[in-house]
Chains A and B, each alone.
Chain A
Amino acid sequence: MWAYIIRRVLATIPVMAFVALFVFSLLYLAPGDPAAVIAGDQATPDDVERIRASLGLDRPYLVRFSEWVFRILQGDLGTSIFTNLPVGHMIAQRIEPTLSLMIVTLCLALSIAIPMGVVAAWKQGTWIDRAVMGFAVLGFSVPVFVVGYLLAYVFALELDWFPVQGYTPFAQGFFPWIENLVLPAVALGGVYIALIARITRATMLEVLQQDYIRTARAKGAGQSSILFLHALKNAAVPIVTVVGIGIALLIGGAVVTESVFAIPGLGRLTVDAILRRDYPVIQGVVLLFSFVYVLVNLGIDLLYTFLDPRIRY
């Protein structure tokens, strides 16, 4: 097992190297010029040229790439072209809101979606099953920003139960923290709930047909015991896989959700950096997201061994 973990961790190095090369090259080739953005709308072409030179953006690709890689190897993600702040510092400022949003969304989604899927499978063909699947279709179909605006209108503007926007750090108390996250988490969680509920239902339906479930029923096991102890445990591997894949959905969805609810997270940092062509920030955030994604996949793979003892690496 440890050898496997070490192998997988080492395998992240070429993956990250490829991501680094890809991101750097893509940004190099993409249109846009931070010098022109910095100079402002009233600047002359000469101003733009001088700013470009002062930022070193007029140097050859290989020189810039090798300098960047050299800094990355030293653990330095560089400095934002615009703010002059270290990229590491800017990312650190934004991690907590995004992490909080993802954790709350994940908890909300799992606590709603799994019971929904289980109940839908148990009550297959009934109105409950149809209602759950109808909700799943809705969850997939309605974009996050539409749900976000609707929630904000009803629960913030009309009912005044939650704030419209913003984020309060956890250090300032649980209530202010969670208050700012409820609406964004519900908005972001819709797709995720739909996805997990559908997979849970499909997998449970398959498992509930198995002989050992019939045996459990014949032995007189209770319904909840059959559903949650015998069936759900055996249906867990595909569900966990989908949860892992869904984290990529969450990262993507967080960009929109953070914009709608003005949460100062990594998603907004990425969008702002892309719009301004703040290359060091884009590169730093994309590297971080790739690293997180590789780690999540590793975690999921390891989780399989606990959920299904037959799986060995």
Chain B
Amino acid sequence: MRRRSMMMAAMAGPALAQGSAARTLRVIPQANLTSLDPVWTTAVVTRNHGMMVYDNITTVNLAGEVRPQMAEGWEISAEGRQWDFTLRPGLKFHDNEPVRAADCVASIRRWAARDSFGQVLWTAVDELSVLDDRRFRFRLKRPFPFLALAMGRSQGPVPVLPERLAATDPFQQVRDATGSGPFRFVANEWNPGSRAVWAKFDGYVPRQEPVDGLAGGRAARIDRVEWSVIPDPATAANAMQTGEQDYWEYPLHDLLPLIRRNRQVVVEQRLSSGFYGCLRFNHLHAPFNNVAIRRAVAMAVDQRDYLRAVAGEDPAGWGVCEGVFTCDTAMANDEGSEVLKTRNIEAARAALRAAGYNNERVVLVAPGDYPQINALSLVTADLLRRLGMNVEVISADWGTLVQRRTSREPVERGGWSVIHTTAGGDALDTPPVHLFLRSNGRDAWFGWPEDALIEQLRAEWLEAAEPAQARRIAGALNRRAMETLPYVPLGYYWQPSVWRRNVTNVFRSPATVFWGIGKS
């Protein structure tokens, strides 16, 4: 124990000090928790809050397989058009009201209005109805084999709220964080930008299976989880080293060598998937409305340059992934990815000349306050300059970038040519959730690529009856994506977490969750 900690413990009274500290997990979250409604915003920090507070009907295990969570199970009719879900007995909300099927139905409706996979699912739903307090039924227009997966996806599962709250317009924020998850939100201790607190919900009935990713028993082993927002990474690293904090969700890669020197802390990869970089072109305007120019740029890309810039020289911290689907998942493939394997600046220059590049201005917007995405942006800027393109780099804060990228104007009128972003592997593992792949023109993600074949293949994938058929379509999708290049995949980097050695039972998971974790 350090000197000051010893002094403080002595002042507080030994038993009291040790007891309360051991029952509280002090966490530095990856961002500031500003909103409490995981349907209203897709922010990861709100999703993580949602995981503690709201239980889910279905969920996924570490292998990404769908598992029941609140559901005891479900029955699918022979033709696959009717799904009957039954809830486990004894489920309660934090206000001690029982969880009913009507709460689940209202929550699913609200979620489906906003979630990307939910919207896809909803096109197949004919009716969603309550059978009794513990059972509800989906009646479908056509078979939808991914129904249970859609509701339990780690990126945005259905958060089950009481019906009274789930009736809120999906575009309005729910103000009351009453859920039925293993932790309840302590609203009167919430100081946005500084602190958020959750307390163990004694009325929670966990499943009996062992923890497996997000599946299994979500049993809270600590009384409180306290998030302290520490905006400065160096200060956060110091707080971890002195033991003022127990767990740091997203340490800055640059600081990892320093932190690793301290034997009281553990640096490990906890999240089950990495973060994937994305180089996005604006397909509406020159020069990147020309597919040959997009391909020329892709030929020059060497993912390793990007990944080193983000996550350092150690190859254990990142991985090359030259396909559009998350590597090491069922749909992963690199059919037609030869363009990404060229990695040759001379060949790319020749291709650029042949494509008819006419020195059009390329505006690349880089977020100075977002280290990882900024690093990706600067590597691309250098690459484009080496290719001989007329590049203007605009350094903006993230708030400005996310507004500017909505502009469909040409660069002369405030538009943009290239942006970058990152996404968790769970957002890119299947066609319906893969936003960067969507090529439905004005309705597509920023950059607005348009390609009827990609959209057709995506629709076919949703109706694929067999896994082998789904994989075949995924291969065709990858091939087509490499021809039209809606975006350039930049590989993935691992985001380790840091915790003190006295934090126990930390398990791998698709999201940062705090059930199952103890503290000695």
Q: Which residues of A contact B (CB under 8 A)?
A: 31-34, 36-48, 50-51, 53-54, 80, 82-85, 90, 93-94, 149, 152-153, 156-157, 160-166, 175-176, 259-262, 264, 268-269, 271-272, 274-278
B193 partner, pick from A45, A53, A269, beta carbons under 8 A: A269
Let me know if B244 and A31 touch, CB within 8 A.
no
- Encoded as 1 (CB less than 8 Å from any A CB) or 0, chain B from 376 to 413 comes to 00000000000000000000111110111110000000
Given contacts A33-B399, A33-B403, contact A262 B235 (CB under 8 A): yes
Let me know if B402 and A261 touch, CB within 8 A.
no
Let me know if A261 and B235 touch, CB within 8 A.
yes
A47 partner, pick from B114, B193, B244, B369, beta carbons under 8 A: B114
Say yes or no: is B173 at the interface (Cβ < 8 Å to chain A). yes
Q: How far is the CB of B492 from chain A (nearest CB, A)?
A: 16
* Residue with the highest number of chain B CB atoms closer than 10 Å, among A80, A161, A166: A166
Given contacts A166-B244, A261-B235, contact A160 B2 (CB under 8 A): yes
Say yes or no: is B129 at the interface (Cβ < 8 Å to chain A). no
Q: How far is the CA of A160 from the CA of B2 in the complex (A)?
A: 7
**Which residues of B are found within 8 Å of A275, using beta-carbon distances?**
369, 397-399
A42 partner, pick from B5, B192, B423, beta carbons under 8 A: B423
Let me know if A42 and B171 touch, CB within 8 A.
no
**Which residues of A are found within 8 Å of B446, using beta-carbon distances?**
45
A37 partner, pick from B234, B369, B402, B421, beta carbons under 8 A: B402
Q: How far is the CA of A276 from the CA of B33 in the complex (A)?
A: 12
Say yes or no: is B467 at the interface (Cβ < 8 Å to chain A). no
Let me know if B42 and A164 touch, CB within 8 A.
no
**Which residues of B are found within 8 Å of A48, using beta-carbon distances?**
406
Let me know if A165 and B239 touch, CB within 8 A.
yes
Which 5 residue pairs across A and B have the least CB separation, nearest first? A264-B194, A40-B42, A33-B403, A36-B402, A82-B34
Q: How far is the CB of A259 from chain B (nearest CB, A)?
A: 5
**Which residues of B are found within 8 Å of A45, using beta-carbon distances?**
406, 442-443, 445-446
Q: How far is the CA of A31 from the CA of B402 in the complex (A)?
A: 10
Q: How far is the CA of A77 from the CA of B4 in the complex (A)?
A: 41
Given contacts A38-B40, A268-B193, A271-B231, 19 further A-B contacts (CB under 8 A): A31-B396, A32-B403, A33-B406, A36-B402, A38-B35, A38-B41, A38-B43, A41-B402, A42-B445, A82-B34, A84-B175, A90-B192, A94-B191, A152-B238, A165-B238, A262-B236, A264-B194, A276-B34, A277-B403
**Which residues of B are found within 8 Å of A162, using beta-carbon distances?**
4
Q: How far is the CA of A164 from the CA of B421 in the complex (A)?
A: 32
* Residue with the highest number of chain A CB atoms closer than 10 Å, among B114, B171, B236, B421: B171
Let me know if B423 and A83 touch, CB within 8 A.
no
A160 partner, pick from B3, B40, B399, beta carbons under 8 A: B3
Q: Which residues of B contact A (CB under 8 A)?
A: 2-5, 8, 11, 32, 34-35, 40-43, 114, 116, 155, 169, 171-173, 175, 191-195, 228-232, 234-236, 238-239, 241-242, 244, 369, 396-400, 402-406, 421-423, 427, 435, 442-446
**Which residues of A are found within 8 Å of B171, using beta-carbon distances?**
50-51, 53-54
Q: How far is the CB of A280 from chain B (nearest CB, A)?
A: 13
Given contacts A82-B192, A84-B35, A268-B193, contact A31 B41 (CB under 8 A): no
Q: How far is the CA of A284 from the CA of B387 in the complex (A)?
A: 48
Query: Looking at chain A's contact residues, is the secondary structure mostly helix, strand, loop, or mixed?
Result: helix
A-B contacts, 16 of them at CB < 8 A, read: A34-B399, A36-B399, A38-B41, A45-B442, A53-B171, A82-B192, A83-B192, A84-B175, A93-B191, A152-B235, A157-B242, A161-B4, A164-B239, A264-B195, A272-B34, A275-B397
Let me know if B114 and A276 touch, CB within 8 A.
no
Let me know if B435 and A44 touch, CB within 8 A.
yes
**Which residues of A are found within 8 Å of B238, using beta-carbon distances?**
152-153, 156-157, 164-165
**Which residues of B are found within 8 Å of A85, using beta-carbon distances?**
192
B400 partner, pick from A31, A50, A160, A264, beta carbons under 8 A: A31
Q: How far is the CB of A278 from chain B (nearest CB, A)?
A: 8
**Which residues of A are found within 8 Å of B427, using beta-carbon distances?**
42
Q: How far is the CA of A37 from the CA of B445 in the complex (A)?
A: 15
B244 partner, pick from A165, A264, A269, A276, beta carbons under 8 A: A165
Let me know if A163 and B42 touch, CB within 8 A.
no
**Which residues of B are found within 8 Å of A43, using beta-carbon distances?**
42
Q: How far is the CB of A96 from chain B (nearest CB, A)?
A: 11
Let me know if A31 and B403 touch, CB within 8 A.
yes
Let me know if A165 and B230 touch, CB within 8 A.
yes
Q: How far is the CA of A167 from the CA of B444 in the complex (A)?
A: 45
**Which residues of A are found within 8 Å of B32, using beta-carbon distances?**
272
Q: How far is the CA of A277 from the CA of B229 in the complex (A)?
A: 19
**Which residues of A are found within 8 Å of B172, using beta-carbon distances?**
54
B402 partner, pick from A33, A46, A94, A165, beta carbons under 8 A: A33
Q: How far is the CB of A284 from chain B (nearest CB, A)?
A: 14
Let me know if A157 and B241 touch, CB within 8 A.
yes
Let me know if A149 and B234 touch, CB within 8 A.
yes
**Which residues of B are found within 8 Å of A274, using beta-carbon distances?**
399
Q: How far is the CA of A32 from the CA of B445 in the complex (A)?
A: 18
B116 partner, pick from A42, A53, A94, A259, beta carbons under 8 A: A42
A40 partner, pick from B41, B228, B236, beta carbons under 8 A: B41
